Amino acid sequence: MFKTPKCAMPRFLVLPFNTWATEAVGRSLRRLFAAGSSGRQWLTSSILVAGIISIIVSVLAQGVIAQTAATSSQSLTLTGAVDLALKQNLDLQIANIETATRQQDQAIARSDLLPHAALGMDESIDRYNLKARVGIQLPGVPHSIGPFQAIHAGTSFSTPLFDLTLIRKYQESGHRLLATRAEEQVVREETVLLVVSEYMAHLRALASITAAQSRVELADRLAHQAGDLLTDGVATKIDVSRAQVRVREEQQRLIDAQRDAEATLYALKRILNLPESQKIKAADQQEFISTPALDLPDPLSMALKQRPELDSLSESTKAAELAHKAAVADSLPKLAFEGRWNEEGETFTDLTPGYEYSVGVKVPIFTGGRVSAERKRTALAEQQAQKQLAQERNRVIEQVRDSQTELEAAFHQVELGRQQVQLANEEISLSQGRFKSGVADNIEVTAAQDSLARANDAEIGALFRYNIARAQLARAVGSEEKTYNH
């Protein structure tokens, strides 16, 4: 909780002070026209004082507004929290950067297939020692020749006419990009699951707080009842002591529940990438106690069609296959076209056009075993990608079946938990009546309170289990974002 600084001015005083400062300046101007040049010195002092006061008031007003904004609490629904996480979560932003990087990798691979051109210019002055170059001094030939000046200015260009390796690498980059986009969708699904899990954990803590507060009130009433019965001679001192101990136990459980609520809020703010000063609170507390069904006609078929992990591994397998084909094509001939066109001469005044065009064929003959090793390495990478895809498919099937079983078991546990709470309340009522009439001591009441606490915990745990199982089933079929971001 933020404390208001002692120097902060109340908001209702800001507007009157600004109005007073404005009126002070206006009065000063009117006095100036009335007093003529003799009032200029007085005017200068008045305007300076009014300006200083206005600046101070404005600064205080901004501090009040900033303080109010910092202490304001944002109410978040589950859908709002999911939407905010999809915009601000850091893991998702990193995944977006990775996708953008893959896009640039594809652009680089495409550039190798396109013509390249460059503009250049050079000037050189050369002089040669003939004896050093020939090895002997020729008779009648000077010792050195030159200097010679040469100027070249123009363009050079090149383009591959046929290079199957570059074509395969470009195709591979396209599938790598699709695999990265599928991985980005995986991060989105995981982010939504994290938000739902932490949001439900916070709602669970809030439900525990409500139940604990109810039990504290009940324990307090029973403690007062034990005191009254002690006064009437029906109860004993030990009964009052038991009741007081029970009050302390329930108060401790309330403190633990409040601590859990704060901890889950910190975790939720981390996922949402919110500043530490931002206060948030959950607005969908009814979402926790409800048990909505998940309409999935054929979960397994949906999962095998739309799980982004399978899409990513499928594209990675295609990319590995193309990488192997590129390694195989590395031993094929490569056809390229190169050329230049420039102006040549000794000085800038006598430049004449010059050009050169060539078509070349390159066939690798001996590479020291590199081409063979590349083929084997890419073939192994292709096999590995295929195995990983099959393994992920089996894992998806297992996750769907486990999630279906977990959701069904959680639904039945919720029903049993609600019945358990109802029976515990009846037990409290009956034991309280027996203690009040003097038939039994408050040991039965304390035992009934224990039963109620366990029943509350069981019901809240069952509701949390159901909500998490529902979210995990949606994640297992690949529709987490569709289910919770609508």
Q: What is the reported pLDDT for 68?
A: 46
In-domain check, residue 146 = no
Neighbours of 88 (CB within 10 A): 13
In-domain check, residue 362 = no
Question: Distance (Å, rounded) from C-alpha 223 to C-alpha 439?
Answer: 18
In-domain check, residue 460 = yes
Q: Is the pLDDT of residue 404 over 60?
A: yes
Q: What percent of the chain has pLDDT over 90?
A: 52
Both 376 and 287 in one domain: the answer is yes
Both 86 and 30 in one domain: the answer is no
Both 228 and 312 in one domain: the answer is yes
Which element (helix H / strand E) includes 149? strand 144-162
User: Prior bond to 297 cis, omega within 30?
Assistant: no
Q: What is the DSSP string of 65-127?
A: HHHHHHH-EEEE-HHHHHHHHHHH-HHHHHHHHHHHHHHHHHHHHHHTTS-EEEEEEEEEEEE
Phi then psi for residue 339, to 5 deg, are -170, 170
What residues have CB less than 8 Å from 436, skipping those under 6 apart? 225, 229, 234
> HSE on the CB side for 186, CA within 13 Å?
16
Whether the Cβ atoms of residue 268 and residue 81 lie closer than 8 Å to each other: yes
pLDDT mean over 76-102: 94
pLDDT in tens, 327-339: 999 999 999 999 9
What residues have CB less than 8 Å from 173, skipping those under 6 apart? 102, 105, 106, 108, 109, 110
Both 323 and 469 in one domain: the answer is yes
- Which CATH number goes with the domain that contains 245? 1.20.1600.10
Q: What is the reported pLDDT for 75?
A: 87
DSSP-derived pairing of the beta strands 279-282 and 73-76: parallel
Both 289 and 174 in one domain: the answer is yes
Final residue before a domain boundary, out of 24, 53, 71 = 71
Q: What is the reported pLDDT for 28?
A: 52
In-domain check, residue 346 = no
For residue 25, give both structure tokens: 């300046």
Both 60 and 171 in one domain: the answer is no
Both 87 and 226 in one domain: the answer is yes
In-domain check, residue 468 = yes
Q: Which residue has the higher pLDDT, 224 or 146?
A: 224
Both 62 and 174 in one domain: the answer is no
The confidence band for 261, taking pLDDT boundaries of 50, 70 and 90, is very high
For residue 343, give both structure tokens: 């102006």
**Of 29-33, 107-111, 195-199, which gets the smallest average pLDDT?**
29-33
Q: Is the pLDDT of residue 267 over 50?
A: yes
> HSE on the CB side for 469, CA within 13 Å?
23
Q: What is the reported pLDDT for 40?
A: 47
What residues have CB less than 8 Å from 47, skipping those under 6 apart? 25, 28
In-domain check, residue 134 = no
Both 61 and 197 in one domain: the answer is no
Both 67 and 211 in one domain: the answer is no
At which residue do the structure tokens 């010059």 appear?
A: 354
In-domain check, residue 358 = no
pLDDT in tens, 283-321: 877 778 888 888 888 999 999 999 999 999 999 999 999
Both 170 and 55 in one domain: the answer is no
> How does the average pLDDT of the chain come out, rounded?
84
pLDDT mean over 134-145: 77
Question: Distance (Å, rounded) from C-alpha 420 to C-alpha 426?
Answer: 10
- CA nearest to 418, candidates 458, 478, 368: 458
Q: What is the reported pLDDT for 338?
A: 94
Both 270 and 304 in one domain: the answer is yes
In-domain check, residue 121 = no
Q: Is the pLDDT of residue 26 over 70?
A: no
pLDDT mean over 244-256: 91
Strand-pairing partners, residue 175, are none
Question: Distance (Å, rounded) from C-alpha 335 to C-alpha 208?
Answer: 74
Final residue before a domain boundary, out of 52, 71, 90 = 71
Domain count along the chain: 2
The residue segments making up the domain with residue 217 are 81-110+165-333+370-484
